[in-house]
């Protein structure tokens, strides 16, 4: 049986590949791994994933030799603001190689930064489109800022110069305003940016009544690290956060997805501090204006009350005198009416007494006796009927002048 040694087979494969790919070719893929190695060379892996499942479809080793890497790296970073790091979509011009000992690989000779830029833009647009579909993209922007914006929760690295600049400008302000600032540490670059910022936001949310606003600041650092802030999970969390969120990521010409969903986006940490200061000063000025209005209004009201009291002090004695006169006149009328009524009542009662006296006098027994009448008594009892008497009773008859005694015979 004829056979080939492994070297002979690999050498044959190498010859076929060299003949098939005499010219360099452009290939697109995602950088799965990548790192500078010894001698200034760059080594990595380029992969293609299924768009629906994310499963791995193809993989190849890539190499950028030191001289080429130095040139390509500078151009790529200047145009995209990114370093060659895992997760980036790349369009590479490569030399297809097959080495008898090291196998299949791609030697990179050129790179198209516009392809990566386009992919970054597409990625941002996809995240923004998803947030719009979720209906949350403007939620944080619509939150009202409190009148007093002085309790600030800061998400940043404790070693970031931007954090120090922010605190210095805010806490040592020329107006002597007091601010309560607390740092919730998070990484501002590297693979754990999303994880640590989300963790800091969770801690703040647990005490959201303790803070007026959240500030996410970075300041300094490489432009290439800004892609760490183009995260759907981060953007969704900030868009739906219960407190207004300020961002000061630190670059003038770049806007991240976080900037798009934040309540207020500013370029630098010091710009955020200046905004908060200006906001507070403006509201304090408004409060002072309201205070002055209230003071002036109170003074005018006091003046009017003084004038009214002065007027009353003048008019009240006259009013009291008029009331007193009316009361005295009324009392005099009442007194006169009472006197008249009493006199008339006395006259009526006197006349009635006279009538009664006449009636009593007309019933006097003495007067009847003088008219010829008599009064008969039996044993001191007035006799008005013969049936009251019996034979032998002694009766007494009272006349106008004297008495007679009689005895009943039958």
Domain CATH code at residue 92: 2.40.50.140
pLDDT of residue 369: 67
pLDDT > 80? residue 260: yes
- Does one domain contain both 98 and 167? no
The mean predicted confidence, pLDDT, of the chain is 84
Domain-terminating residue out of 90, 111, 132: 111
pLDDT > 60? residue 344: yes
Which residue has better confidence, 202 or 83? 202
Tens of pLDDT, residue by residue over 139-153, are 999 999 998 899 999
- Does one domain contain both 276 and 168? yes
Q: How many domains does the chain have?
A: 3
Binning pLDDT at 50, 70 and 90, where does residue 168 land? very high
pLDDT of residue 395: 81
- Does one domain contain both 27 and 89? yes
Overall average pLDDT of the 341-362 stretch: 78
Answer whether residue 390 is part of any domain.
yes
pLDDT of residue 220: 61
- Does one domain contain both 69 and 191? no
- Does one domain contain both 64 and 175? no
Which residue has better confidence, 374 or 169? 169
Tens of pLDDT, residue by residue over 313-339, are 777 676 667 777 787 788 788 878 887
- Does one domain contain both 103 and 145? no
Domain-terminating residue out of 244, 263, 282: 282
pLDDT > 90? residue 238: yes
pLDDT of residue 225: 62
Which residue has better confidence, 11 or 274? 274
Binning pLDDT at 50, 70 and 90, where does residue 252 land? low
Overall average pLDDT of the 75-82 stretch: 83
Binning pLDDT at 50, 70 and 90, where does residue 185 land? very high
Domain-terminating residue out of 282, 312, 329: 282
- Does one domain contain both 268 and 145? yes
Answer whether residue 328 is part of any domain.
no
Which residue has better confidence, 119 or 47? 47
Q: What is the pTM of this model?
A: 0.57
Answer whether residue 127 is part of any domain.
no
- Domain that residue 149 falls in: 141-282
Tell me if 152 sits within 8 A of 212, measured CB to CB: yes
- Does one domain contain both 153 and 276? yes
Q: Which of 204-213, 216-225, 342-351, 375-384 has the highest mean pLDDT?
A: 204-213
Binning pLDDT at 50, 70 and 90, where does residue 71 land? very high
Overall average pLDDT of the 355-374 stretch: 70
- Does one domain contain both 104 and 224? no
Binning pLDDT at 50, 70 and 90, where does residue 372 land? low
Tens of pLDDT, residue by residue over 280-294, are 988 877 766 666 767
- Does one domain contain both 184 and 90? no
Answer whether residue 329 is part of any domain.
no
Overall average pLDDT of the 18-23 stretch: 83
Answer whether residue 198 is part of any domain.
yes
pLDDT > 70? residue 363: no
Q: Which of 34-43, 215-224, 244-253 has the highest mean pLDDT?
A: 34-43
- Does one domain contain both 34 and 150? no
pLDDT > 80? residue 383: no
Tens of pLDDT, residue by residue over 90-115, are 999 999 988 888 888 999 999 998 88
Answer whether residue 195 is part of any domain.
yes
Domain CATH code at residue 243: 3.40.50.11400
Answer whether residue 301 is part of any domain.
no
- Does one domain contain both 85 and 151? no
Answer whether residue 60 is part of any domain.
yes
């Amino acid at each position: 049986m004829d056979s080939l040694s492994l070297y002979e087979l690999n050498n044959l494969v190498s010859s076929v590949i060299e003949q098939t790919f005499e010219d360099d070719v452009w290939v697109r893929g995602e950088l799965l791994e990548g790192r500078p190695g010894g001698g200034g060379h760059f080594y990595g892996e380029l992969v293609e994933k299924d768009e629906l499942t994310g499963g791995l479809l193809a993989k190849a080793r890539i190499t950028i030799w030191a001289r080429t890497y130095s040139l390509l790296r500078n151009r790529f970073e200047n145009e995209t603001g990114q370093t060659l790091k895992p997760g980036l979509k790349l369009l590479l011009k490569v030399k297809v190689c097959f080495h008898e000992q090291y196998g299949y690989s791609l030697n990179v000779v050129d790179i198209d930064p516009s392809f990566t830029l386009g992919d970054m833009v597409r990625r941002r647009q996809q995240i923004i489109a998803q947030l719009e579909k979720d209906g949350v993209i403007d939620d944080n922007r619509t939150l009202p800022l409190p009148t007093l914006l002085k309790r600030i929760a800061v998400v940043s690295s404790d070693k970031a110069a931007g954090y120090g600049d922010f605190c210095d400008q805010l806490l040592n302000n020329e107006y002597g305003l007091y601010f309560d600032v607390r740092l919730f540490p998070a990484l501002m670059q590297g693979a754990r940016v999303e994880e640590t910022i989300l963790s800091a936001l969770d801690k703040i949310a647990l005490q959201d009544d303790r803070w007026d606003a959240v500030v996410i600041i970075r300041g300094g650092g490489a432009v290439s690290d800004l892609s760490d802030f183009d995260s759907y999970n981060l953007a969704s969390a900030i868009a739906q956060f219960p407190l207004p969120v300020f961002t000061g990521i630190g670059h003038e010409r770049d806007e991240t997805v976080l900037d798009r969903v934040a309540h207020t986006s500013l370029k630098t940490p010091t710009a955020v501090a200046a905004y908060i200061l200006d906001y507070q000063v403006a509201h304090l000025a408004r409060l002072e204006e309201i205070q002055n209005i209230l003071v002036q209004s109170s003074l005018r009201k006091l003046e009017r009350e003084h004038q009214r009291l002065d007027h009353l002090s003048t008019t009240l004695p006259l009013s009291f005198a008029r009331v007193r006169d009316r009361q005295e006149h009324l009392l005099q009328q009442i007194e006169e009416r009472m006197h008249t009524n009493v006199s008339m009542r006395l006259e009526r009662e006197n006349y009635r007494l006279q009538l009664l006296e006449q009636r009593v006098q007309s019933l006097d027994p003495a007067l009847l006796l003088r008219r010829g009448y008599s009064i008969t008594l039996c044993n001191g009892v007035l006799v008005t009927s013969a049936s009251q008497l019996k034979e032998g009773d002694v009766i007494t008859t009272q006349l106008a002048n004297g008495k007679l005694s009689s005895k009943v015979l039958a």
